[in-house]
Amino acid sequence: MIRRPSTGVTMLAVAGSLVGGGAWALQNAPQQPPTAQTPPTAPAPVVAPQQSRPAPVARPAPSGPGAQPIVPQPAAPTTNTTPTTTAAPAQPQSAAKPAEVIPEKPAEPIKRARSSVAIIQALDKVTTETMRFEAPVGQPIRYKTLVFTVRACETTAPDEDAPDSIAYVTVDTQPKALPGRVAPPGRQIYKGWMYANSPGLNPLEHPVYDAWLIACKTSAPAAPAASR
């Protein structure tokens, strides 16, 4: 019987143990997770301001006799159906209506007092004779060759600055007819307002006579008839 040396067998057994232990160690060793890779940054998408119209699709041309060419029709534009909301204008707050101010009516001026009689004084420059007489409104009064007709006689109102009496007078010259002769025609020599307190404001200009206003007065009422 041939015996093999045990040394070789032992070496094989030790080698097998080492190989088996290395494989077990590799299997049971903790595995580290793979390192995550950073994905490349994609460019931001570009948003077109308006939707572009699709390109017309070209159709094949028909063949054969009597065939007509097909014209590509443009695509209909896309209509935005989203309703547009319009903001209502802000209503102003109702303010209190101010009270209506009624303007004050100006006071009416006080009317002048009208009289029915004017008192006139005349002067003869040749004889220096003076005469004061009353001339009722609308009634002609003769003084020598002059005829005075008073159209109005007024007294200033209390609210006027200067109190005065004013008369609108016309003066005509009418010489008396001489015996056996025709009276010469008369003519007007004065027309205007006479002022009692300012006789030189609008005076009568005549080579022989002079006249001015003294005052205005109201005629006395007629006496009542005596009862029987």
pLDDT digits (tens, 9 = 90+) for 125-176: 999 999 999 999 999 999 999 999 999 999 998 888 889 999 999 999 988 7
Give the list of residues 6+ apart from residue 204 with CB closer than 8 angstroms, or none. 171, 189, 190, 210, 211, 212
Q: Domain residues of the chain, as ranges? A: 113-217
| CA atoms of 191 and 202, how far apart (whole Å) | 10
Q: Which residue has the higher pLDDT, 22 or 137?
A: 137
* pLDDT average, residue stretch 22-31: 53
Q: For residues 223 and 228, give the distance between their C-alpha atoms in angstroms, rounded to a whole number.
A: 15
Selected residue with higher pLDDT from 208 and 88? 208
Q: Which two tokens stand for residue 9?
A: 């067998």
Which pLDDT score is estimated for 191? Answer: 96
